[in-house]
Amino acid sequence: MAGRKGRRWLLTPLPLQGHINPMLELAQILYSEGFSITIIHTTFNSPHPSNYPHFTFSCIQHGVSQTQSSDLLNFLLQLNVKCVEPFKDCVTKLLRSDEAAVEPVACLISDAMCYFTQAVADNLHLPRIVLRTAAISSYVAFLAYPLFRQRGYIPTQDCILEEEVKELAPLRVKDLPLIKTEEPEKYYELLRNFLKETKASLGVIWNSFEGLESPALRKLSKEFSIPMFPIGPFHKHLSSSSSSSSLISQDQSCIAWLDTHPPNSVVYVSFGSLAAITETEFVELAWGLANSRHPFLWVVRPGLIKGSEWVEALPSGFLENLEGRGAIVKWAPQQEVLAHSAVGAFWTHCGWNSTLESICEGVPMICMPIFTDQKVNARYVSHVWRVGLQLEKRVEREEIQRIITTLMDVNGEAKEIRDRALKLKEEAELCLRQGGSSRSSLQALVTYILSFDSFTSQPSSLYIPFRFARKAIDDW
Ligand code: UDX
């Protein structure tokens, strides 16, 4: 733990599990670097302050209801409108508080998707840095959205799905971060704002590492005049797992179940916190897993299956007939599960956290992306890093059985994939060692933020004038 720096950072996560986890991990990393932390969160999906006694928390009321998160596009657009005033009030109060007089606020870090925070930060002359919780490679694909628009990719015609998009090779049209919507203009508006306000920030923090995404990083560095800080994998900076930021309680019993299995024997299946599949797909997956004869641990989150409460669509006696070969839980301690020696493959939707957590443990993946950045991640897993296979066909039991059998094989293609996955795991470990790329990038971030101070005439001022922060960038 570094000495206290006498500076406070304000952190604002997007209120969704896949964004809260990395933001709270980042908060812990910065706390270890000697900074004090205030988390500004919404009433919806709020983190548990009692799990972070060393942070302070400030809650804003925004009036965006929980049910709207099922319609992600409108949820994000609404959030970016309705949060402006309460967020501004909250930050103003924090900047004027007695605590801020003693310990000045150095910077605001907001999730890139909370793009409304840039105007508020400008208005309050507060430096804003962005955390982008997804991959750098998928960001490069989002940047190409004018191309999607020009070519009319939404709604996507079936006949062009397999076509390669030369500008973004090796992505095909079906790997682009597109969504199914009747209102493509709304989606483009969201992307335009999110990309524009990221560019307007003073820097971007990535939960990724140079060795994994250097081509994408180089590309972005050419387009952006702000510094990039790839300091991931965040969770590997920390001694404990991210269970404390989990919104759903994690069923620890699955670890004891894994303990009873030999190394690399179990297929772990999870689709993260948002994705949904149909009842038919669920049943096909169940039979594919059962017929593969490999033991499986499956996270079936309530809400995963459209139109079902939980697992009622399973044929009666399904699990009992497997005689212990299958276990289903509502939510697992995923980082611990992936680190368990019994896990031999991860059937995943390729959310960025899941992808990175799998890479860090050297676990080969079977990719079944559902929406947006997941499709880019899946293509990179199978065709760039080549540490997994992608389910290209429909979700049908024969294909599921075939792909599991292929990846769980001890020889051939599966062995090559496993070897590459172990090599990538080593790279993820090396980047966090002394002199490693992510460790150096973290030090650069700390120096960068502290340098804002040296441009102020009064080091204990409540906030740093924006032009000084810009000067720090020019000198950078
Ligand atoms: C969302 C988007 O869907 C994803 O595309 C984007 O990259 C991030 O935001 P989500 O779908 O939840 O995320 O997936 P993912 O990014 O994989 O994050 C899920 C998190 O929940 C991971 O940190 C994982 O460890 C955790 N988790 C998942 C659990 O703790 N238990 C589980 O059972 C499943």
Q: Exposed, middle or buried, 467 (CB in 10 Å: 0-12/13-18/19+)?
A: exposed
CA 155 to centroid of ligand 1, rounded, Å: 26
Question: Which residue in the block uniquely carries the two structure tokens 């950078």?
Answer: 476
pLDDT tens sequence across 78-121: 999 999 999 999 999 999 998 898 999 999 999 999 999 999 99
390: nearest Cα among 372, 370, 412, 410:
370
> What pLDDT score was predicted for residue 99?
87
- In the prediction, which pLDDT does 351 show? 98
- Ligand 1 touching residue 348 (CB < 6 A): no
pLDDT in tens, 123-144: 999 999 999 999 999 999 999 9
Exposed e or buried b per residue across 366-375, where buried means at least 16 C-beta atoms within 10 angstroms of its C-beta: bbbbbbbbbb
With b for 16 or more beta-carbon neighbours within 10 A and e for fewer, the 398-437 pattern comes to eebbbbbeebbeeeeebeebbebbeebbebbeebbeeebb
Give the span between the Cα atoms of 252 and 426, in whole angstroms.
27
Residue 275 beta carbon below 6 angstroms from any ligand 1 atom: yes
CA distance 360 to 366: 16
Ligand 1 centroid–CA 348 distance in Å is 10
Is it the case that residue 146 has pLDDT exceeding 60? Answer: yes
Q: Does residue 458 have a pLDDT over 50?
A: no
473 has pLDDT over 80 = no
Give the position, in ligand 1's atom list, of the atom nearest the Cα of 17: 12
The reported pLDDT for the residue numbered 64 is 82
Is 350 a pocket residue for ligand 1 (Cβ < 6 Å)? no
Q: How confident is the model at residue 4 (pLDDT cuts 50, 70, 90)?
A: confident
Cβ–ligand 1 distance for 234 under 6 Å, the answer no
Q: Are 391 and 399 in contact (CB under 8 A)?
A: yes
Q: Which pLDDT score, from 0 to 100, does residue 257 have?
A: 98
In the chain, % of residues over pLDDT 70: 93
pLDDT at 431: 98
Nearest ligand 1 atom to the CA of 274 is 11
Q: Tokens 């993260």 — which residue?
A: 272
What digits encode the pLDDT tens for the residues 13-58? 999 999 999 999 999 999 999 999 999 999 989 999 999 999 999 9
| DSSP code for 2 | P
Using a 6 Å cutoff on CB, does residue 145 contact ligand 1? no
Does the CB atom of residue 208 touch ligand 1 within 6 A? no
pLDDT tens, 379-394? 999 999 999 999 999 9
| Per-residue model confidence as pLDDT tens digits over 335-351 | 999 999 999 999 999 99
Q: Kindly list the structural domains of the chain, giving each domain's residue range(s) and its CATH number in brackets, ordered by start.
A: 8-232+431-475 (3.40.50.2000), 253-429 (3.40.50.2000)
Over 90: is that where the pLDDT of 474 sits? Answer: no
Q: State the pLDDT confidence band at 241, using cuts at 50, 70 and 90.
A: low
pLDDT tens digits for 267-295? Answer: 999 999 999 999 999 999 999 999 999 99
Rg of the chain in Å (alpha carbons): 22
Q: What pLDDT is stored for residue 66 in this prediction?
A: 64
- Cα of 97 vs centre of ligand 1, distance in Å, is 35
| Ligand 1 center to 246 CA (angstroms) | 10
CB of 270 closer than 6 A to ligand 1?
Answer: yes
Q: Which atom belonging to ligand 1 lies closest to the Cα atom of 353? A: 16
Q: Is the CB of 351 under 6 A from ligand 1?
A: yes
User: How far does CA 392 lie from the centroid of its chain?
Assistant: 23
Residues 165-183: pLDDT tens digits? 999 999 999 999 999 888 9
Tell me, using a 6 A CB cutoff, whether residue 18 lines ligand 1. yes
Length of the chain (residues) = 476
For residue 466, pLDDT beyond 70:
no
CA–centroid distance, 354 to ligand 1, in Å, is 6
Q: How far apart are CA 198 and CA 402, in angstroms?
A: 42
What pLDDT score was predicted for residue 88? 97
Residue 230 phi/psi, 5-degree rounding, is -80, 100
Average pLDDT, the chain: 93
The pLDDT score that the predictor gives to residue 153 is 94
Question: Which pairs from 457-462 meet CB under 8 Å and 24+ separation?
Answer: 459/104, 460/101, 460/104, 461/104, 462/95, 462/96, 462/100, 462/101, 462/104, 462/105
Q: Is the CB of 358 under 6 A from ligand 1?
A: no
In short, whether 42's Cβ falls inside 6 Å of ligand 1 is no
Q: Hey, what are 31's tokens?
A: 């706390």
Residue 272 CA to ligand 1 centre (angstroms): 4
Q: Is the CB of 292 under 6 A from ligand 1?
A: no
Is the minimum distance from the CB of 352 to ligand 1 under 6 angstroms? Answer: yes
Percent of the chain predicted with pLDDT > 90 = 87
